[in-house]
Amino acid sequence: MANKYDNYLDEDLIELIRSGNQEATEYLVKKYYPLVIKSTRTLFLIGADDEDLTQEGLIGLFKAIQSYDCDNSASFYTFAQLCIKRQIYSAIKAFNREKHTPLNSYISFYSTANENDIQLIENLEADIKTNPEHVILDQETSSNINRLLSSRLSKMEKVVLPLYLDGMSYSDIAKTIGKPTKSVDNAVSRIRDKVKKIYSTN
């Protein structure tokens, strides 16, 4: 079903959001939710908690909406992607410092980003490229996981993995490959066990 905001540019939506349009907020968050999910998938397979990472990704998305400069030469998509990644990385660092503190306890989901909380996009890019921890995380891409698992996955797992890493839901994967959703769930669980075993021995 078509939405009245479908033909709006992201920058136009952000202007509406800043004027108090709640519908525009809900539309933009729904539009970028798949990007949040896709950004968390690799780290979930390695061992992080899926729900916590998704929440952190959403916080990053809200910060992007609040902080994006519509006069910036970079697109909102690029800026949002960087903000989402940065928020997830920051959450992992915080979690590693306090092993027994849940990821979602150190910042409120509804917290308002300070105007200095998100740096300019150039600084975000530099931070991700130069921070060793960020570089390591960025290297754990879908292709790298596929390479590490190439000889360890069953035929079905090899079909499920790229679809899962691309952000598809279990139900969508099930429809795509013609298998029950439970079978997809089981396949992802087996893949995750194999990934964790690989990283625990490295």
Q: What band does 147 get if pLDDT is binned at 50, 70 and 90?
A: confident
The answer to whether 137 touches 86, Cβ cutoff 8 Å, is no
Task: State the pLDDT confidence band at 13, using cuts at 50, 70 and 90.
Answer: very high
Domains and CATH numbers, the chain: 10-139 (no CATH), 142-201 (1.10.10)
DSSP letters, 121-179, are HHHHHHHHHH-HHHHHHHHS-HHHHHHHHTTT--HHHHHHHHHHHTT--HHHHHHHHT-
What is the 3-state secondary structure of 7-50?
CCCHHHHHHHHHCCCHHHHHHHHHHHHHHHHHHHHHHHHHCCCH
Give pLDDT, residue 159.
92
Phi/psi for 176 (5° steps) reads -65, -40
pLDDT at residue 201 in the model:
59
Global confidence as pTM: 0.63
* C-alpha dist (Å) from residue 182 to 128, 156, 172, 178, 195: 37, 13, 12, 12, 20
Q: Which of 6-15, 77-86, 132-141, 151-160 has the lowest mean pLDDT?
A: 132-141
Range name among 19-23, 76-80, 121-125, 152-156 with the lowest pLDDT average: 121-125
pLDDT for position 151: 81
Measured between alpha carbons, how far is 103 from 95 in angstroms, rounded to an integer?
6
Q: Which two tokens stand for residue 44?
A: 């979930």
